[in-house]
A and B are shown apart, each in its own frame.
Chain A
Amino acid sequence: MFELVRRNRNRSFWLVTVMGLLLAATGFGAFELMAPGAGGIGIGVALCLGVGMFLVSFYAGNSVLLAAAGAHELNRDAAPQLYNIVEEMVIASGLGQMPKLYLIESNAANAFATGRNPEVAAVAVTEGLLNLLNRDQLQAVIAHELAHVKNRDILYMTLLAVMAGAIGLLAELISRYFFYGGGRKSRSSNTSNGQAQLILAVVGIALLIVGPLVARLVFFAASRTREYLADAQSAIFTRNPEALAQALEKISGNLSGARLPVPKVAQPMLIVGAALFETHPPIDKRIGILRALAGGGGELSYARYAQAFARTLGKSPRFLPTSALSERAVPCVTRPTLSAADSAAQVRPTGLRREALNAVKRAAGYEVLACRCGATIKIPQSYPGRDTLRCLACGQNLVNR
């Protein structure tokens, strides 16, 4: 997957270069208007501004975003289970370094990752997310976020978000000065004052044009492919695509609730974007692909994800690196779980509960398949994977033996 890391690094480099050139051109134009021949100073000023902005977003981008989202750091004692879950996923992904964990006090269920590399990374989750999901589902969401960290999506996205935010702010400040403060003084102004205002106006207008452009760029950059890829990686890290599908289902069902206090420029970084912004793939498509993967004969690989993607969307994914596609499939294993509380109750319904469930299933027209090993599997009517269904206990093919 090293291609992805390189791709994101190249993109970050080009982003910074293009932004620098844009700023330099703006500075040159503005100063040249004020005093012909002063364009060089303008370039200098603009570049200083640009370098400052880059340094802030590179070294403090994650802090800026986390502060803007109102997140505060969580220590181990405050959330031992979350720490355990993240540690498990750090091991599974081979990241080698724990990210810092942040909590956002909001009822909205969402999560995002930020930082510049795996050594300086942070994952923020909302209280709503912790309340909504069970352990496995939360784990799948964390795995998705750590995939963003591993692919260095976080660097590019953080740079973009902070720069877009800074330019937007600058444009707003200048235009406010121009329309309010500047307008009031203009009656008594002499020529040099008028020139200064002209410059500010030009810079302001330039920034007003560039600002939204950069903001648009943010949304393009949050290309849907990053999300699909992180979904695929989450499935492979957890070996449990169904858990992510359930988590996405729950989160999207909860979207209409409280809105997350995350700045607009940072929206594309969320695991599920607000419906308003089409930065994320349609969530039902993501769920559909994961379900197809979960029901696909118990094996996982990027190639299988690609197949499920093609079946669900009717086009083949070109974003998966060829090296990933050639990786061998791994079994989709359900690990033995010791946490008896909620999972065991679902896994092994006993006594009355099982009777009741069976009655409900019979009434709903479930088909009962008996396997040689003694297990019975109940599947809903018109279950799409019926013909290739394998026994969950022994792995034998149930239908076409």
Chain B
Amino acid sequence: MAGLIVAGIVALLLILTIGLYNGLVRERNGVQNAWNQIDVQLKRRHDLIPNLVETAKGYVKHEREVLEGVTVARNQAVNAHSRSGQIQAEAQLGSALANLFAVAEAYPQLRANENFLKLQEELTSTENKIAFARQYYNDSVMTFNNKRQEFPGVLVAGLFNFKEEPYWKLPDVEQREAPQVSFN
């Protein structure tokens, strides 16, 4: 009888552990998946930029350095090796692009170019997708880390060595642009 009870308790504990373990694995895969999303979008941005520069070249004659800035920033981002280096380079690329689009405002012919408009929309969307993917990545990290730290997940996480995942913080405050502000 006592043996049966012990066996029952062991079986129950085993089932609970399996459930918790699987839950943690699922969340961790979610985090990895969210990171891959970001990667896909960053690559897409790198692919779009040479086209954009090529299109803008014919129009923006007096502001070569803006175009060069974009190209340089892109190459740095492509060649970045460490994750932190990439985050830094991508931020620079983002502001270089914003700069180019601001300059483009002064060239009506460029703004009327269909190809340019198409590329602008694609890049805008890619930028948004990066932001949303980062947002989803951070949400996934939060869910995973919470589950990892809370009882009873913390027991299983310790047992199977689930590491805490890092948040992707915005490297640059300038990226949080604010609306309706005027600097008089």
Contact among A81, A239, A336 with B177 in the assembled complex (CB-CB below 8 Å): A336
Enumerate chain A residues within 8 angstroms of B184, measured Cβ to Cβ.
376
Enumerate chain B residues within 8 angstroms of A377, measured Cβ to Cβ.
180-181
Could you tell me the distance between the alpha carbons of A375 and B183 in the complex, rounded to whole angstroms?
Answer: 5
Could you tell me the distance between the alpha carbons of A354 and B181 in the complex, rounded to whole angstroms?
Answer: 11
Task: Tell whether, in the assembled complex, residue B183 and residue A374 are in contact, meaning their CB atoms are under 8 Å apart.
Answer: yes
Q: Does B120 sit within 8 A of A, measured CB to CB?
A: yes
In the complex formed, the residue of B with least CB distance to A333 is B176
Could you tell me the distance between the alpha carbons of A337 and B105 in the complex, rounded to whole angstroms?
Answer: 14
Q: Does B128 sit within 8 A of A, measured CB to CB?
A: yes
Enumerate chain A residues within 8 angstroms of B123, measured Cβ to Cβ.
338
Task: Tell whether, in the assembled complex, residue A336 and residue B127 are in contact, meaning their CB atoms are under 8 Å apart.
Answer: yes
Contact among A85, A96, A344, A354 with B182 in the assembled complex (CB-CB below 8 Å): A354
Task: Tell whether, in the assembled complex, residue B181 and residue A393 are in contact, meaning their CB atoms are under 8 Å apart.
Answer: yes
Enumerate chain B residues within 8 angstroms of A328, measured Cβ to Cβ.
142
Q: Which of A56-64, A87-95, A188-196 contacts B (4 or more CB under 8 A)?
A: A87-95
Could you tell me the distance between the alpha carbons of A344 and B104 in the complex, rounded to whole angstroms?
Answer: 13
Enumerate chain A residues within 8 angstroms of B175, measured Cβ to Cβ.
336
Task: Tell whether, in the assembled complex, residue A338 and residue B127 are in contact, meaning their CB atoms are under 8 Å apart.
Answer: yes
Min distance, Cβ B23 to any Cβ of chain A, angstroms = 11
Give chain A's interface residue range (CB within 8 Å of chain B).
35 or more
Task: Tell whether, in the assembled complex, residue A334 and residue B121 are in contact, meaning their CB atoms are under 8 Å apart.
Answer: no
Q: Does A396 sit within 8 A of B, measured CB to CB?
A: no
Min distance, Cβ A325 to any Cβ of chain B, angstroms = 14
Enumerate chain B residues within 8 angstroms of A89, measured Cβ to Cβ.
132
Most buried by B among A92, A93, A328, A376: A92
Enumerate chain B residues within 8 angstroms of A339, measured Cβ to Cβ.
120-121, 124
Enumerate chain B residues within 8 angstroms of A85, measured Cβ to Cβ.
125
Q: Does A187 sit within 8 A of B, measured CB to CB?
A: no
Min distance, Cβ A269 to any Cβ of chain B, angstroms = 25
Min distance, Cβ B57 to any Cβ of chain A, angstroms = 19
Q: Does B20 sit within 8 A of A, measured CB to CB?
A: no
Q: Does B76 sit within 8 A of A, measured CB to CB?
A: no
Interface string of B81-125 (1 = CB under 8 A from A): 000000000000010011001101100000000000010111111
- Majority SS at the chain B contact face: helix
Task: Tell whether, in the assembled complex, residue B176 and residue A84 are in contact, meaning their CB atoms are under 8 Å apart.
Answer: no
Q: A333-B176, A338-B123, A339-B120 are in contact. Are A92 and B182 (CB under 8 A)?
A: no
Task: Tell whether, in the assembled complex, residue A80 and residue B118 are in contact, meaning their CB atoms are under 8 Å apart.
Answer: yes
Task: Tell whether, in the assembled complex, residue B104 and residue A340 are in contact, meaning their CB atoms are under 8 Å apart.
Answer: yes
Task: Tell whether, in the assembled complex, residue A334 and residue B178 are in contact, meaning their CB atoms are under 8 Å apart.
Answer: yes
Enumerate chain B residues within 8 angstroms of A346, measured Cβ to Cβ.
179
Task: Tell whether, in the assembled complex, residue B136 and residue A92 are in contact, meaning their CB atoms are under 8 Å apart.
Answer: yes
Task: Tell whether, in the assembled complex, residue B182 and residue A375 are in contact, meaning their CB atoms are under 8 Å apart.
Answer: yes
Task: Tell whether, in the assembled complex, residue A88 and residue B181 are in contact, meaning their CB atoms are under 8 Å apart.
Answer: no
Task: Tell whether, in the assembled complex, residue A340 and residue B101 are in contact, meaning their CB atoms are under 8 Å apart.
Answer: yes
Most buried by B among A80, A88, A91, A336: A91
Min distance, Cβ B152 to any Cβ of chain A, angstroms = 16
Task: Tell whether, in the assembled complex, residue B132 and residue A376 are in contact, meaning their CB atoms are under 8 Å apart.
Answer: no
Could you tell me the distance between the alpha carbons of A94 and B133 in the complex, rounded to whole angstroms?
Answer: 8
Could you tell me the distance between the alpha carbons of A338 and B131 in the complex, rounded to whole angstroms?
Answer: 12
Task: Tell whether, in the assembled complex, residue A338 and residue B135 are in contact, meaning their CB atoms are under 8 Å apart.
Answer: no
Interface string of B125-153 (1 = CB under 8 A from A): 10111011101100110100000000000
Enumerate chain A residues within 8 angstroms of B180, measured Cβ to Cβ.
347, 377, 392
Min distance, Cβ A240 to any Cβ of chain B, angstroms = 10
Enumerate chain A residues within 8 angstroms of B41, measured Cβ to Cβ.
91
Task: Tell whether, in the assembled complex, residue B181 and residue A375 are in contact, meaning their CB atoms are under 8 Å apart.
Answer: yes
Min distance, Cβ B156 to any Cβ of chain A, angstroms = 19
Task: Tell whether, in the assembled complex, residue A392 and residue B125 are in contact, meaning their CB atoms are under 8 Å apart.
Answer: no
Min distance, Cβ A71 to any Cβ of chain B, angstroms = 24
Could you tell me the distance between the alpha carbons of A346 and B178 in the complex, rounded to whole angstroms?
Answer: 12
Could you tell me the distance between the alpha carbons of A350 and B22 in the complex, rounded to whole angstroms?
Answer: 56
Q: Does B55 sit within 8 A of A, measured CB to CB?
A: no
In the complex formed, the residue of B with least CB distance to A238 is B132
Could you tell me the distance between the alpha carbons of A330 and B142 in the complex, rounded to whole angstroms?
Answer: 11
Could you tell me the distance between the alpha carbons of A84 and B121 in the complex, rounded to whole angstroms?
Answer: 9
Could you tell me the distance between the alpha carbons of A358 and B118 in the complex, rounded to whole angstroms?
Answer: 34
Min distance, Cβ A394 to any Cβ of chain B, angstroms = 9
Q: Does A318 sit within 8 A of B, measured CB to CB?
A: no
Q: Does A335 sit within 8 A of B, measured CB to CB?
A: yes
Task: Tell whether, in the assembled complex, residue A340 and residue B102 are in contact, meaning their CB atoms are under 8 Å apart.
Answer: yes
Min distance, Cβ B183 to any Cβ of chain A, angstroms = 6
Q: Which of A213-257 contact B (CB under 8 A)?
A: 237, 239
Task: Tell whether, in the assembled complex, residue B132 and residue A91 are in contact, meaning their CB atoms are under 8 Å apart.
Answer: yes
Could you tell me the distance between the alpha carbons of A22 and B140 in the complex, rounded to whole angstroms?
Answer: 44
Q: Does B71 sit within 8 A of A, measured CB to CB?
A: no
Min distance, Cβ B37 to any Cβ of chain A, angstroms = 6
Could you tell me the distance between the alpha carbons of A374 and B136 in the complex, rounded to whole angstroms?
Answer: 33
Q: Does B70 sit within 8 A of A, measured CB to CB?
A: no
Task: Tell whether, in the assembled complex, residue A88 and residue B128 are in contact, meaning their CB atoms are under 8 Å apart.
Answer: yes
Q: Does B157 sit within 8 A of A, measured CB to CB?
A: no
Min distance, Cβ A338 to any Cβ of chain B, angstroms = 4
Rank and list the top 4 A-B pairs by shortest CB-CB distance, nearest first: A84-B125, A92-B132, A392-B178, A338-B124
Interface CB pairs A-B, < 8 A, 5: A87-B125, A92-B136, A237-B132, A338-B124, A376-B184
Which residues of B line the A interface, CB within 8 A?
30, 33-34, 37, 41, 94, 97-98, 101-102, 104-105, 118, 120-125, 127-129, 131-133, 135-136, 139-140, 142, 175-184
Given A87-B125, A96-B33, 5 new contacts (CB under 8 A): A84-B124, A337-B177, A376-B183, A376-B184, A377-B181
